[in-house]
């Protein structure tokens, strides 16, 4: 025994979210070590089935595709059914995470409030360095980027399955 199994300081591998969309499956690596609160929020919403059936309400060619709005128009977020309170997630930055490529997954937010992310997220279609340090990057597409590039506002998220949580 080399002690690895009992050493709690060894980071667990990052979980994967497999997002079934009407275009095809998109697999996202979730950066648990570098964005723990944001990843925990995304995992919770996925387990609740929150994203199932939601549209890609914002599609800007060469920029981003965005989903996660329960109202379908970009104005809504997650409201906790127990408390009736909207959930907000604080801005979470990490020096190793940036909008450096297509397939970067990050939280959208409301207006200029840096700590207003809730349930909406976007996937970049190209590097977007001007978004760095303004939005919480929490994942990256590891397969299915061809489907991301094809998404239109008529497309939907069918389901999100988590692996390795």
pLDDT at 1 over 60: no
pLDDT at 60 over 60: yes
Partnered with residue 161 across adjacent β-strands are 18
Question: What span, in angstroms and rounded, lies between the C-alpha atoms of 109 and 134?
Answer: 10
Distance of CA 98 to CAs 34, 57, 84, Å? 11, 23, 33
pLDDT confidence bin for 12, thresholds 50/70/90: confident
Residue ranges of E strands in the chain: 16-21, 25-30, 58-60, 64-67, 104-107, 121-124, 137-143, 157-163
pLDDT at 70: 97
Token output for 152: 């239109």
User: What are the phi and psi torsion angles at 37 (to 5°)?
Assistant: -70, -40
pLDDT at 25: 98
pLDDT confidence bin for 4, thresholds 50/70/90: very low
> How many alpha carbons lie under 13 Å from residue 132 in its C-beta half-sphere?
12
pLDDT in tens, 76-110: 999 999 999 999 999 999 999 999 999 999 999 99
pLDDT in tens, 45-57: 999 999 999 999 9
Task: State the average pLDDT over residues 107-124.
Answer: 96
């Amino acid at each position: 025994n080399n002690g690895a199994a009992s050493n709690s300081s060894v980071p667990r591998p990052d979980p994967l979210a497999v997002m079934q969309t009407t275009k095809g499956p998109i697999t996202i690596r979730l950066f648990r070590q570098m964005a723990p609160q944001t990843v925990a929020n995304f995992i919770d919403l996925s387990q609740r089935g929150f994203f199932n059936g939601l549209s890609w309400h914002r599609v800007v060619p060469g920029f981003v595709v965005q989903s996660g709005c329960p109202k379908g128009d970009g104005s809504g977020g997650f409201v906790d059914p127990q408390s009736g309170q909207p959930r907000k997630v604080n801005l979470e930055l990490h020096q190793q995470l940036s909008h450096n490529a297509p397939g970067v997954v990050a939280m959208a937010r409301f207006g200029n409030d840096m700590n207003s992310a809730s349930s909406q997220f976007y996937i970049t279609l190209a590097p977007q360095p001007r978004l760095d340090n303004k939005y919480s990057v929490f994942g990256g597409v590891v397969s299915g980027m061809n489907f991301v590039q094809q998404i239109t506002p008529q497309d939907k998220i069918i389901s999100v399955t988590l692996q390795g949580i």
